[in-house]
């Protein structure tokens, strides 16, 4: 039997942030399994799939607070789950400190824009626009 | 083939490759999400603009890419459940290899079932009725 060395890690003070991040990935992941697979089922599989999606279809769904809440939760959980995943990937593969820093700034900026834009659209959408 | 070293799930064989696939599918889906929030935001611009852009999703090539996206999301979801089973279920680590095969089998069956409803329209369009 081979003994495995301890994983490489940078020497720094351990905060509980990484533990909360670990738990968040699993909890959000569990919710996202339901939210995202439900979303894919409705949008791509049932009743004609993507061929029937148009502005009127979106307006019909977002007339209901249920689907707005669904999509809002989906947006926030998916974006935060994905951003945290990409943060881990950047930490793993970007070797230089400055590369890591700028990639993460780019990541956080994009996440901020996506969350603000998406939230604004869900809250300010007007089904009677047409 | 050499046995996976003891004491780890993530070095070598099923444990490692399912982790690699989890990363790759995760990054792909994240980039799609960025584009998808932007295209959906067009509902606020005008019904016409939104419909024009959504029309690209209905073309055969993008429809095929969507099928790939569904494959990536579904793998990531099922393997995520496997990870949670390994982390939180006491027998999870012992059965991680069987869980990997369960994930792949379920993924394949669900993708086979999704192929008809997702791709039927494209199939008719490309090969005639």
Contact B54 A53 (CB under 8 A): yes
- Measure the N-to-C terminal CA separation of chain A; round to a whole number of Å: 69
Report how far residue A44's alpha carbon sits from residue B69's, in angstroms, rounded to the nearest whole number: 11
pLDDT of residue A100: 94
- In chain B, what are the domains? 13-127 (1.20.1300.10)
pLDDT of residue B69: 97
- Give me the CATH code for the A19-124 domain, please: 1.20.1300.10
Contact B7 A46 (CB under 8 A): no
pLDDT of residue A47: 86
Which residues does chain A have within 8 Å of residue B114's beta carbon, measured at their own beta carbons?
Answer: 44-45
Going from the C-alpha of A48 to that of each of A51, A71, B122, the distances in angstroms are 6, 21, 12
CB of A35 closer than 8 Å to CB of A77? yes
Q: What is the ipTM of this complex?
A: 0.86
Report how far residue B91's alpha carbon sits from residue B81's, in angstroms, rounded to the nearest whole number: 14
**Which of A1, A2, A130 is opposite residue B47, by nearest beta carbon?**
A130
Which residues does chain B have within 8 Å of residue A4's beta carbon, measured at their own beta carbons?
Answer: 5-8, 11
Residues 60-99 of B with CB under 8 A from A: 63, 66, 70, 73-74, 77, 80-81, 83-84, 87-88
pLDDT of residue B5: 54
- Residue of chain B nearest A117, judged by CA positions: B41
For residue B106, give every residue at least 6 positions away whose Cβ sits within 8 Å of its Cβ, in sequence order, or none.
Answer: B78
pLDDT of residue A89: 96
Chain A interface, Cβ < 8 Å to B: 1-4, 26, 29-30, 32-33, 36-37, 40, 44-46, 48-51, 53-56, 58-59, 75, 78-79, 82-83, 85-86, 89, 110, 114, 117-118, 120-121, 124-125, 129-130
For residue A73, give every residue at least 6 positions away whose Cβ sits within 8 Å of its Cβ, in sequence order, or none.
Answer: A31, A35
Domain locations along chain A: 19-124
**Which of the residues in chain A have pLDDT under 50?**
none
pLDDT of residue A34: 97
pLDDT of residue B28: 97
pLDDT tens for A53-77 read: 999 999 999 999 999 999 999 999 9
pLDDT of residue A122: 95
Q: What is the pLDDT along chain B (129 residues), one digit of tens a residue?
A: 555 555 667 766 777 889 999 999 999 999 999 999 999 999 999 999 999 999 999 999 999 999 999 999 999 999 999 999 999 998 988 888 899 999 999 999 999 999 999 998 888 888 886
Residue B123, Cβ density class (10 Å: 0-12 exposed, 13-18 middle, ≥19 buried): middle
């Amino acid at each position: 039997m081979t003994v495995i060395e301890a994983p490489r890690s940078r020497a720094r003070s351990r905060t509980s942030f990484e533990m909360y991040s670990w738990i968040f990935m699993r909890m959000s992941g569990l919710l996202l399994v339901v939210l995202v697979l439900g979303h894919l089922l409705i949008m791509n599989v049932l009743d004609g799939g993507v061929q029937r999606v148009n502005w009127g279809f979106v307006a019909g769904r977002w007339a209901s607070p249920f689907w707005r809440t669904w999509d809002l939760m989906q947006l926030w959980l998916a974006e935060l789950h994905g951003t945290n995943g990409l943060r881990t990937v950047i930490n793993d593969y970007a070797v230089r400190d400055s590369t890591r820093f700028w990639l993460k700034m780019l990541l956080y900026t994009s996440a901020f824009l996506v969350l603000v834009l998406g939230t604004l659209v869900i809250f300010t959408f007007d089904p009677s626009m047409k | 083939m050499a046995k996976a070293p003891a004491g780890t799930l993530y070095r070598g064989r099923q444990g490692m490759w399912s982790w690699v696939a989890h990363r790759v599918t995760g990054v792909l889906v994240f980039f799609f999400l960025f584009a998808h929030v932007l295209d959906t935001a067009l509902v606020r611009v005008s019904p016409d603009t939104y419909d024009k852009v959504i029309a690209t999703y209905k073309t055969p090539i993008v429809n095929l890419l969507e099928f790939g996206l569904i494959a990536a999301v579904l793998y990531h979801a099922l393997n995520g459940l496997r990870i949670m089973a390994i982390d939180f279920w006491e027998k999870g680590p012992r059965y991680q290899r069987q869980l990997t095969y369960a994930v792949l089998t379920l993924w394949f069956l669900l993708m086979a079932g999704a192929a008809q409803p997702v791709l039927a329209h494209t199939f008719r369009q490309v090969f005639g009725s």
